[in-house]
Amino acid sequence: MSKLEQRQRREQGIIEMMLSQLEHKRVLELRMSDIAKLAGCSMGVIYSHFPSKEDLLLACANHQMKLDMALLDRMVIGQPDPLDKILAANIFYWVSSHNSISQYALKQFVMNPHVWSAASPYRVDRMNALAGEILEKMKHVATQVNTEFQLGLDRSGIEMFLYGIFGSTIGLYQESVCGFIGLMCTQNTDADPYWLLYKQILKRNLKGWDIQPPDLDERIDRIYSLLSSVFNDVSSDPQRDINNN
């Protein structure tokens, strides 16, 4: 094994160790010395890979987003309809966040501008590249939706459509976990009231773009059920093919 391969393997091990600790401890509770001890590395070795805790957090978020993307890609391939792909990508964010609050908390923490400013340019560039890759994939799918429903959107309109629908997904989930909109969710139901509210907002968002297929409720419920089933098993088998679920 070359020195570069050894370094990459060690770095991967440090990232995985950090992620495992985040399942039990808050981000602010973890120290670099804790990670060094658990990974069996000196502080010098840790800092040779990650010059700051913020840098390590950004690396962890990048790693987790890649895992999510791999699963999302397999799921999207299984949805032949462009609108179903858009729905699946949004519902994926909701269900995956609900499945692991610790991973969701990490993603939220690294959105803090302080974390980005304290991380190395290398980590920032990698995160930006990954975000750009995700955006381009979603633009391609949104272009197909634009054609299917004859929306007549130009490039900026397609971007606005994506930012709007994903923004409402991300924003409402964040509010649901902090309890900010608790007074809005007082329905007497056995179902998750926040999910029901999100489903209603998702449908209204699409209606605003004149996207109103008659089976929209059934599509959303089917995809939600599929993803919920997948995430019940993904922790025991991360490589599971959801198309066989």
Mean pLDDT of 142-154: 97
Q: How do residues 198-209 score in pLDDT, each as one tens digit? A: 999 999 999 999
pTM for this model (two decimals) = 0.86
Q: Is the pLDDT of residue 240 over 50?
A: no
**Rounded Cα distance, 94 and 115, in Å:** 24
Give the domains, in start order, of the chain with CATH numbers.
1-49 (1.10.10), 52-238 (1.10.357)
Please state, in angstroms and rounded to a whole number, the distance separating the CA atoms of residues 22 and 102.
6
Evaluate if residue 129 carries a pLDDT over 50.
Answer: yes
Write down the residue that tokens 């950004």 correspond to: 58
pLDDT value of position 135: 93
What pLDDT score was predicted for residue 242?
A: 39
The answer to whether residues 174 and 101 touch, using CB atoms and an 8 Å cutoff, is no
Residue 32 φ then ψ, to 5°: -60, -35
In the predicted structure, residue 239 carries a pLDDT above the cut 60: no
Q: Is the pLDDT of residue 38 over 50?
A: yes
Please state, in angstroms and rounded to a whole number, the distance separating the CA atoms of residues 73 and 67.
Answer: 10
Q: Please give the residue that has the higher pLDDT: either 192 or 115.
A: 115
Which of the four pLDDT bands, split at 50, 70 and 90, describes residue 110?
confident
What is the chain's Cα-based Rg?
20
Question: Running DSSP on this structure, what letter comes out for residue 79?
Answer: -
